[in-house]
Chain A
Amino acid sequence: DQQVKQNSPSLSVQEGRISILNCDYTNSMFDYFLWYKKYPAEGPTFLISISSIKDKNEDGRFTVFLNKSAKHLSLHIVPSQPGDSAVYFCAATAPSGSARQLTFGSGTQLTVLP
């Protein structure tokens, strides 16, 4: 049972345009969501996060939107740059005893074309 789903395995956009990466979840207990970027042969790098009490969080070119009723979040990158080409993972976490493990989606490969 996949609790976090990224239904698009890949996405290509032109440099300068907007990239929109989507993520759906099923567990209503999730209260914190994160996006990570991963380059080949490196670990995931934290990008941006959002608490369930908010519906938007912005950091420079990156904005995350959360729609709790639809159990959906998205990451917008504007403007997209070739260096943004990487695999993007959506992750979520819920209070569970003392642990806070992340549940990840399967990732979306973003390619930004020059």
Chain B
Amino acid sequence: GAGVSQTPSNKVTEKGKYVELRCDPISGHTALYWYRQSLGQGPEFLIYFQGTGAADDSGLPNDRFFAVRPEGSVSTLKIQRTERGDSAVYLCASSLGTSGGRVTQYFGPGTRLTVL
């Protein structure tokens, strides 16, 4: 079956612009996560969806970042007024649930965002 897919794979934008990053999770996975990975570090949690609602957005760095998952499947991470410090690889992951072995998260290939 298909894994997690993310588009675009690369995005180059200018400081101050708006960007949207898309994630298509594994079919049947109800939990969806966004992470951000900077060079030389492990992924850092941004936001979590259970179904359509953002159950935990405590990792979002500020109010320029927003994510939606309107139909409980595909999710879009939106960044307004991008800054050079937003440059990173944005990873999406999905899992069957949040208990026992269902917590295992499967990651997409990521979107590399570069803000010039």
* Residues of chain A having any CB pair with chain B under 8 Å: 4, 32, 34, 36, 41-46, 49, 51, 89, 91, 93, 95-107
> Does A44 contact B103, Cβ atoms closer than 8 Å?
no
Which residues in A have their C-beta under 8 angstroms from that of B40?
Answer: 106
B43 interfacial by beta-carbon distance below 8 Å: yes
Which residues in B have their C-beta under 8 angstroms from that of A42?
Answer: 109-110
In Å, the complex CA distance between A72 and B42 comes to 18
> Does B107 contact A36, Cβ atoms closer than 8 Å?
yes
> Does B48 contact A43, Cβ atoms closer than 8 Å?
no
Q: Mark B33-72, 1 if CB is under 8 A from A, else 0.
A: 1010000111111001010000110010000000000000
Which residues in A have their C-beta under 8 angstroms from that of B95?
Answer: 100
Which of the residues A41, A44, A106 comes within 8 Å of B91, measured between beta carbons? A44
Q: A91-B42, A100-B48, A105-B42 are in contact. Are A46 and B106 (CB under 8 A)?
A: yes
> Does B109 contact A104, Cβ atoms closer than 8 Å?
no
- Number of residue pairs spanning A and B whose beta carbons lie under 8 angstroms apart: 71
Which residues in B have their C-beta under 8 angstroms from that of A98?
Answer: 50, 55-56, 98
> Does A43 contact B59, Cβ atoms closer than 8 Å?
no
* Residues of chain B having any CB pair with chain A under 8 Å: 4, 6, 31, 33, 35, 40-45, 48, 50, 55-56, 59, 91, 93, 95, 98, 100-101, 103-110
Which residues in B have their C-beta under 8 angstroms from that of A100?
Answer: 31, 48, 95, 98, 103
In Å, the complex CA distance between A89 and B95 comes to 18
